[in-house]
Structure 1
Amino acid sequence: MTEAERLGRLSEVLIELFRSPIPTHFFHTLADHAGGVLPHDYLAVCLSDLEKSGYLVHSLAGLDAGAVSPRVFSLHEGLPGRAITTGHAQRVEDLTLVRDGVHDLEGVLIGAGLRAALAVPIRRGLDLLGALLFAGRPPIAYGDDDEHVATLLAAGLSAALETSQAYQTLADERMTMLGVLGSTSDAVIAMNQGGLVLLANGAVRQMLGLAPDAIEGRPLLEVVDHAPLRELFVKGNPGISELPLPDGRTAQASLVQAVTPFGEPVGLAVVLRDITLLKNLEQMKNDFVATVSHDLKSPITVIAGLADLMRIAGPGDPNLVSRCQDIRDTAQHMADLVTDLLDIGKIEAGLDAAREPMDLVPAASDALRIVRPNADRKSIALDADLPEAAIVMAAPIRIRQALVNLIDNGIKYTPNGGRVTVSVAFSAGGDGAETVTIRVADTGLGIPARDLPHVFDKFYRVNSTATQGIAGTGLGLAITKTIVESVGGRIRVESVEGAGTTFTVELPAARL
């Protein structure tokens, strides 16, 4: 083989080393092709083990993998150790003449009939990663040219190992990044300066209906048909804005310019966060403030007006008593409204009384006793169908409040001479667990079908000619629903306009 042919084959081996970043590929390449540029009957890669101040021998060709001891060899043992510690190639014509050879390395090679040996260091800058070890049977002998070729192979292996390490670092960083992006509910899309989608996380599917693997590597303007998002990328103005989503939700879009560590722009990235709930809460807050302001301002205006009339009319006003009563009633309405607001705030914030096992039957009896004067004034019959006991886990004061709200609501909207019935019974829930069911039914005005979905909304009042003049804050049923749901129950309403209404509460029975 001529020198030119040898160098040509060496180039092919070095090129083959870089075809894959996987270390096992490097070793297979050397095992399969190194013999074409450097004769040998045995080849091993000896890699430094810095933690143990030694090196491990990985046999690639010529002997079984287990022929050489798997132990960590000291850096003072064998030809590879000398090559690693000195940083220079070690070459011998006859292994039997090596005085400091070790029986489980050189001894194994001698036993296999190998005599000539060549060990060259594998360098990375000033660091020594290990050594390449070649050995051969006679007539193989290693000269200066062989040492030069072996050094080039070691340099190629070093560069390939460095590339592999960099690749693994990048792969680890990418997996970490994908893990973080995959665990967030925010949608992330990155686009390079050429308009290609570089990255899209799993939340893109849920938020935009796009499959990440179907859009990555493709032009964004071809795969994204959502006009507001396309416009955001086309304008490319970094900042925060609101973006309507295809299904009607709202997202907060944070567009940033992606740059390298050296400040060079490489594209754009957008993070989309679903803020629909926040927008709804903000609207609810605005509605709440507007409603409360109106409901508090109206009675204050009434009180101020009545006070002015009393001042103008003087002590001899024949309507003095009725106007004083109106002031008292209006002030009581304001007090009730504030009390209800405080109650619903505490319950929703989880700052309410602790739950405990309680019997619903005494609570229902107390509620009936509290509202009976209101029923008597309208000649409304109060019927009760109660078991001996019905134990639930709840705050007794709140359950009684919910029952009072429901029964009193029935009395308010039932004409004189009507009937309100309260019943408590046991039933099996959908999961087989026992449920306590409370029903409050009246023979009153009923609720129009259009109003049924809103009866538990805060401040909602059924607005009709029949309900005008009936006092209330519009919070009683909202408070009741909050109380019921806070203990794991549920409430529903059924009504026929003109025929009455039935509220049904289901609470999980306590397991004692």
Structure 2
Amino acid sequence: MSAQDHFPRFDPVRTVWASLDSVFKRQVPFALMYLVALVVVPFALDQVDVPGLVVAGIFVEVAVLVAAYWLPWHRWPLAAQHSLPLGSVVAVVLLERGCSSSAVFLTALVLVPVSTLAWTDGRRGVALATGAAVAAVLTPMLWFDDLEFPEGTLVRAVLIPLVAFALASFVAAAADNLRAHAEGQKALADQLRTSRDLMAGLVEAATEQAIIATDSGGVIEVFNRGAENLSARTAEEMIGHSVVEMRLAEELDAAVEEAGRQASAGSARDAAARFAVIVGQAATGGVHVRDWTYLRHGEPAGTVRLTVTRRVPLPGEDHGGYLFVATDITAQVESERAKDEFLGYVSHELRTPISAVLGYVELLGLDDANLTDEQRCYVEVIERNAQRLLHLVDDLLLRAQVDAGRFVVRPEPVDLAEVVAASVRSAAPFAASHQVTLLDGTAAAVPLAADPVRLAQMVDNLLSNALKFTLAGGRVVVRAALRRAPDLAPEAVLEVTDTGVGIPAQEVRQLTDRFFRASTATQRRLPGVGLGLSITKAIVDAHGGELSISSEEGVGTTFTVTLPAGTAPTSGPV
């Protein structure tokens, strides 16, 4: 608690003091000390030798105070203010001369105006202060014919000017440091004010993004125009409310349950759990990005992509808050959903006629003896392209199942080594026709619990991808093995390594995105639509495994799949 809180009765005095000019304030301490000296001297001394000089000293000091209060010192040069402390030195000399010769101790009063001079004008003030102290000390030697303590006076004639010089030097240095600090603080405050105004302008100008700043507990402090447009609520309505109010309660509760947080409905603990899932990794200094349903007039209105970061604490804050940036992606989400539905519908509708074509091709193959060589060639072309089209349709349907959350794996005991051997046998003709060496480096059985159909599809995709990107004379090696994870749990590892064209480093992270094709594939016009690795990643994820990719352009690529080999994953949609 401050002194102002302890003594409210002195508030009027503080208000008056704060309103006074700094020139006058600098003279008040000496005036009070001078008043104390006037009260004490008659009791401390036997007599006052020259009352007229004492009165003259009082008059001079009063004149100094009146001048300090009334005159417009801010219009005049700084040197004009030196007349005030110098006048106070004259008042000291007059008081000392007016008293008895034993009052030479009053000379010490000059240290106060000495400090004022040094504070006001730096080095020049130090010189004036030292000269004033010398003059004040030598005056008794000139005025008093018979000093009671001549030796002490001589000592003071040397000591007091030295003390005055040292004190003035210290005060001047302190004043310079304080002024430099004040100027630095002012420059910093101006810079912060400019930055704040600039940031405030940028935040308000961002009408396409909702920008919201909160304290550490989620209470809204900043709500920009973009947030107003998105939520149809004004900043005045939202500032002071929790950011949790802008999210769908059911969606937040589902996220809380997913995160495994325990909370009681309707309690403060529940609100804290909801806020915790909104900020996510931002609570520990990271960046949290997640899609949420946003509300308008209390009803679900669309989807936003929310980015949450930690806000640096402001001056006076113990803990920083959070910064939320939300972008409306409703149109994008609807477009993706419509595209997925269209692909799923078209793929399903295409599968029936393609199956019919393959059926009739098979019937033609049964009558192979009646076909000419040219006709047999036509049938093979039809079958090859129909199979290729059917494979593409199957990939599209599988991708649609993954996106819709209906992708199902049915794990059972399987040997990964046998799956790899079967895939290598199937890919061998393609490898031979392209003059690529295909090797199976698996040394022993690799038992695990997995969906054998999806596992074979995963290995086929990886081998097909490696062979397509490897030029004639190159090599593709596939290995499967069992090993122990860091937690000693058994895991199956599959590696597919090629000496192909490689993939640019900046594109490696996008390889498992659907419909993405590396630049090395498009430049060489390699066939494909960019679904194989996307489906492979989905299969690996469904089995609780990991897919890692390392590649160097012009050297080759290695795909590594790690699958748990202990407990079978739960069968069901993923």
Higher percent of residues as strand? 1
Q: Look at both structures and tell me which one has the larger radius of gyration over its CA atoms.
A: 2
- Report the TM-score range of the alignment, normalised by the length of the smaller protein: 0.3 to 0.5
Task: With the length of structure 1 as denominator, give the TM-score of the two structures.
Answer: 0.43
Task: With the length of structure 2 as denominator, give the TM-score of the two structures.
Answer: 0.39
